[in-house]
Amino acid sequence: MQWSTRLVDRFRFDRLRLRRAAVRYAAHGWAVTPGAYLSGERFNCGRAGCPIMGCHPAMESWEDDASTDVARVGGWWRHQPYTVLLATGGSFDVLEVPAPVGLRVLGAVRLHTGVIGPERGDGRGPVAVTPSGRWMFFVRPESALRPELASCLDVLHHGRGSWIPAAPSRTPEGPVRWAVAPEQHDWHLPASETVQAMLLDALDALGRRTPRTVTLSVPRQMSTARRAA
C-alpha cells in the first residue's frame, strides 16, 4: 500500500512539474505539443496500436495543434505526465550536435563576446542537453544549415516540421536538462549564422570537417535519440 502511494505521488509530481515547464515555454511564445510519456522502457502516446517505442508526439496532427495558448497547453497535462515537446521553425530553430562539439562551442561563448569565425555576434542563448549526449543550441529561425555543416551527419538542423524534447522531460537514460536555461539570458536567441560559425570553428579544432556534401532531411515524429543513431 505504501509503495502504491509513493508511485501515485511520483506520477502526480512528474505531471505537475512537466505541466509547469510546458506552460512557462508557451507563455514565452514557444509552441508546445505533448509527447508520449515514458512507461517503463518505452514511450506511450495513448493511441491504440502505435508502433513507435521512442519519444514522439502524442497527437497525430501535432504540427497543426502545437500551441502557445497557456490555458490550452496546461490542459494537456491535466491527466498524464506527457513529455514536453517544442515545435521548431516558428519562434526558434535548433542546431543539434554531439557532445564534444557542444562543449567546445559553449566554452567559446562563455570566453568570448564575439564569435570565433568569419561572422561576429553574440552567441549566447539557450542550450539543452539530452542524456544521450546531444547538445541543442536554440537560434533565431532565419537561416538554413550551411553546406559545411550539412556534410556532417551528426549535425542536425531542426526547423519547420520538426520538434525537440525539452527539460525536464525524461528518457530511459535520464532527463533532458538545460546547460544554459532560457532565463539566464532573458530568453534571448542568437543569430543562427553566429552559432553556425562557432560550430564550424569547433569542428575544425576537433578535426571533424569533411569535404562531402550531404543534404540531411529529418523525418517527422522521430526522436532526437533515434535521429542521432
Mean pLDDT per 10-residue run, the chain (229 residues)? 58 90 98 94 89 94 96 96 97 97 91 52 91 96 93 94 96 95 95 94 83 47 44
Cα–Cα distance, 144 to 126 (Å, whole number):
19
Give dist(CA 99, CA 126) in Å, integer: 15
Q: Are 81 and 48 in contact (CB under 8 A)?
A: no
Domain count along the chain: 1
Q: What is the pLDDT at residue 109?
A: 86
Using alpha carbons, list the distances in angstroms from residue 41 to 53, 69, 158, 192. 8, 31, 26, 35
32 — phi, psi (to 5°)?
A: -115, 145
- For 204, the domain range is 2-228
Beta bridge partners of 104: none
Predicted pLDDT at 116: 45
Q: Which set of grid coordinates corresponds to residue 218?
A: 529529418
At which residue does the C-alpha cell 542536425 appear? 156
The confidence score (pLDDT) of residue 214 equals 44
Which residue, 95, 16, 26, is CA-closest to 66?
26
The string of pLDDT tens digits covering residues 1-27 is 454 556 556 778 899 999 999 999 999
DSSP code of residue 31: -
Q: Quote the pLDDT of residue 223.
A: 42
The predicted pLDDT at position 8 comes to 58
Nearest Cα neighbor of 117 from 135, 104, 103 is 104
Report strand pairing: 83-87 vs 37-39. Answer: unpaired
**Confidence at residue 209, expressed as pLDDT on a 0 to 100 scale:** 62
Q: Are 187 and 134 in contact (CB under 8 A)?
A: no
Q: Tell me the C-alpha distance between 164 and 182, whole Å.
A: 15
For residue 18, CA distances in Å to 14, 22, 55, 148, 149 come to: 6, 6, 15, 37, 33
DSSP designation for 23: H
CA dist 199 and 15 (Å) reads 35
Integer angstrom CA distances of residue 5 from 11, 41, 56, 78, 135: 10, 22, 29, 19, 36
